[in-house]
Amino acid sequence: MRTRCEIWAPAKLNLGLRVLGRRADGYHDILTRFVAVDLYDQLVFTRRIAGGVSLQLQVDSAGVRPGEFPLDEGNLILRAVRLVERAAGIRASLSISIRKTIPIAAGLGGGSADAAATLLAMTRLYGIDVPPRELGAWGAQLGADVRFFLGESAAMGRGRGDELTPISLFRQWWAILVTPPVFVSAGDVYGDLRLTLGAKAANFHDCRDREGFLAALRRSHNDLEAVVLRRAPEILLWQGRLREQGAAGVFVSGSGPTVFGVYMSQPSEKTVQSLRGGGTGARVEVARPVTTPLALVVQ
């Protein structure tokens, strides 16, 4: 049984998101395309003899402001530990260190990815034999996006986003991600949603070639975008700047506030630096789709 496990947890982008209606449980039924991209949080789990569970944030974590990343039981990482303890009947004692790179509360799934990494690490460190479907069900208890990070690196999500079907997807593209320094609550966005059931989302099944991908990209739409823009209109400026730089498509990821442009060739350093300049306080990152079969990368 291993005593140390390092996992790189990727961000996700939504390539199209339709909201199909409100569910009886208060959530919404959606249809979306998830793709994991190579912007990673790096988590190191070290099993120890005693001392309980501790969580440390590495000092070189990018863009994390004081108090923004809780280290107590409210953190999804520790909630994932407690879930496994209850499900497997164990008491964990381990140290968890995380280097945050994925912006927090940005529509990129960073918290969900970290929770998925924790579930996987716990099963490995404590020799817990759990089928993938059951592990995914554990993840769904923590959040709708968690199950995605335990599976394929590109998938179509239905229901709350946790009913997943792997998809074939052309992956020779880049994305520039811009996260402005604004907070947009996912709950408030869904609560303010005026359903537009006629909105289109691309069908990315078997979009393995460049032209098919571009055609699907042109049909993509995020039904949440209008609400996000009402709450954070400065995102409109970033959408315009990404289009000026030749983006084949510009989208809000999930419930925002991150907006990203899709590029069919690698953006130049000059382009990226021009977006980072100006003292706006926005995070600007370049990422590509993950090409590994699974979203999480175990080192």
Active-site annotation, residues:
12, 145
Cα-to-chain-centroid distance, residue 256: 11
**Cβ atoms within 10 Å, residue 290:** 24
In order, the DSSP letters of 283-297 are EEEEE-B--SSBSSE
Torsional class of 259: left (φ above 0), alpha (ψ -120 to 50), beta (otherwise): beta
**Closest CA relative to residue 288, chosen from 166, 173, 170:** 173
Per-residue tokens: 46 = 């070290």
**Which residues are paired to 179 by β-bridges?**
283
Strands 163-166 and 154-158 come out as antiparallel
Per-residue tokens: 187 = 């709950």
In order, the DSSP letters of 54-104 are EEEE-TT-TTPPTTSS--STTSHHHHHHHHHHHHHT----EEEEEE--SPT
Alpha helices, DSSP H only, in the chain? Answer: 76-88, 110-125, 132-142, 146-149, 186-191, 210-218, 225-231, 235-244, 269-276
Sheet holding 283-287, edge to edge: 249-252, 259-263, 174-179, 283-287
For residues 7 and 10, give the distance between their C-alpha atoms in angstroms, rounded to a whole number: 10
